[in-house]
Structure 1
């Protein structure tokens, strides 16, 4: 049988043999990629996060993904430094965590990332002095209240986007990193966005997408800088998650709840420098990569224009 196939192939023109070879290589690469995808999403175990240190610092922990991270990390046995701007919400989250994970130690640090950031970072440094902070979750971020053209972005929103998303992430990382370098261990997780990485453009959210592109490149550079120092740096790239920021109330197969996302996210910490932890999102990412950029641009513009129209209607009702 094998000899028969061999003789048949040998009798074929060279160009057919080349096409068959290329097809076989492509099929092999696809099969290998699928095997890896299945392994990392469903089989590969998460790392023991306590090996990085006994404390985790989370920014933006009072709502959404940050809050879910706080609960999940407490369940893993880590103590928490929660950094947010609302002292009442910080207290509420802390008490809720302690009611479920009584042994968890928690420190609250009040920082308004859109305010005096230098003073806030000083308070963070003071709070973590002497603590074995092995994990940093840079989650704090702001977006547009609704889609709008760049010329419609007011000075306050423009300042907040840059200050919170870029400067806040950068300065908190700089505050926490030296102790990790000294101990030669640690993990930094920066929350990016599919708006900057998965899709080629995010019209009417241009500054938000650009700030998240900064987070992605910042993370990759730090990953290379510190990977030989025992420090794992990662940019996580969620697509839509059911949060207030995304204005989505209900979760679905492609839109996880915050808890669903956080559970998936913990399993990826310490591995790839860039990832989308919730596996249905990776399907959407693959689909986006397979489509022409012009088609995605046109769809996204139409979608964002609809969001802008709804936002303008809500604003007009508030004025009335």
Structure 2
């Protein structure tokens, strides 16, 4: 009887130990999340500088980030391809907050062309003499999505590469010299769960590859510039959006899933230079770039990728718009390349 009871006791002790470890890990993650949201925000203006540059600020995450930076007292240089949207966003920001704004019309898909070179020179001229302390590389495109590589339009793929990869690099190179000269700054690059949270992302191969570049670029840039007082972080965005079956495009912007109040909570740890690692919070996953980081630890976000390929509830519904109105490409704001009219 005693011999039988001994193994059973050890089994329950082991089970209790495993359960205790799990509860402790869960509690740590929960309290870390709570601490990030309740932590007193850092004075970004004092820490980094008086101005911030935001690409793709007219919709989704980019717009919310721009508004949050303005709320924290930073003046803004806004880059987007649509002059009218830039004016509207700039007017909204200045009407809500006592900050200055500058706008630069820049079609990021034209980098590497004469028009793109002119736009880069306009950006350099716009920030010359400004105390630019924060750069948010937010603009990106995801079209074409949910398509076999051999069936995708080559020009559309090249456009994606130019915006997600080439333009991000050129804009960063244009802003960094001033940060180096002043010995402070922060660069926030928008990554994607498609490259960091799951091992592969079929039917979105080029998009995932460009975002893998963003992550590797951010890691190396952090090590390269940390001695110069510049913080670099790559933020991984998640969404439960799904592509419209008729257009293979993500309908709507991130506005419905990432609102200003959520970004208000998220922007602290994303932009806080003293944070060395944060968990998923407020619908966003900020991945700190560590000095000797290898592969970032995979998060449990497989459900997010599954949701993107799941059939929508209605084949014709697209945020209240018809499928035909969801076919206008844009390079503003979020991971979405298009938004419904």
| TM bracket, shorter-chain basis | 0.7 to 0.9
| Residue 248 (structure 2) pairs with residue 247 (structure 1) | no
Distance 1:234 1:71 in 2: 20
TM-score normalised over the length of structure 2: 0.72
1:20/1:304 CA distance change after superposition, 3 Å: closer
Q: Report the counterpart of residue 5 of structure 1 in structure 2.
A: none
The residue number in structure 2 matching 1:287 is 300
> Aligned pair count?
295
Per the alignment, residue 50 of structure 1 pairs with 45
Match of 1:262 in 2: 263
Question: Equivalent residue of 1:203, what SS?
Answer: coil
The one of 69, 86, 93 aligned to 1:90: 86
Residue number in structure 1 paired with 2:333: none
Distance in 2 between the 1:136 and 1:214 partners?
Answer: 18
Deviation at residue 25 of structure 1 after TM alignment:
8.3
Against the structure 1 CA distance between its residues 21 and 226, is the aligned structure 2 distance closer, same or farther, given a 3 Å change threshold? farther
Distance 1:111 1:231, change over 3 A: same
Question: Is the contact made by 1:55 and 1:132 (CA closer than 8 Å) also made in structure 2?
Answer: yes
Report the 3-state secondary structure (helix = DSSP H, G, I; strand = E; otherwise coil) of the residue aligned with 1:227: helix
RMSD: 3.9
Secondary structure of the 1:56 match is strand
Residue in structure 2 matched with residue 303 of structure 1 by the alignment? 310
Contact 1:53 1:133 (8 Å CA) reproduced: yes
| Cα 1:273–1:308 shift into 2, 3 Å | farther
Structure exhibiting the larger radius of gyration computed from Cα positions: 1
5+ long unaligned stretches in structure 2: 1-5, 244-248, 286-297, 328-341
Q: Distance in 1 between matches of 2:82 and 2:283?
A: 33
Shift of 1:22: 7.0
Structure 1 residues 275, 303: closer, same or farther in 2, change over 3 A? farther
Cα contact 2:192–2:236 (8 A) shared by 1: yes
Q: Is the 8 A contact 2:240 2:307 kept in 1?
A: no
Match of 2:148 in 1: 149
Alpha-carbon distance change, 136 to 243 in structure 1, aligned in 2, over 3 angstroms:
farther
Among residues 107, 114, 119, which one is paired with 2:109 in the alignment? Answer: 114
Kindly indicate whether the alpha-carbon contact (under 8 Å) linking 1:196 and 1:212 is maintained by their aligned counterparts in 2: yes
Cα deviation, residue 128, structure 1? 0.5
Give the structure 1 partner of residue 184 of structure 2: 185
Tell me the distance in 2 between the aligned counterparts of 1:24 and 1:300: 30
Q: Which moved more, 1:135-144 or 1:33-42?
A: 33-42
Unaligned runs of 5+ in 1: 1-11
Distance, in Å, in 2 between the alignment partners of 1:308 and 1:233 is 41
The 5 A counterparts of 1:32-111 are 33-34=28-29, 37-51=32-46, 52-101=48-97, 103-111=98-106
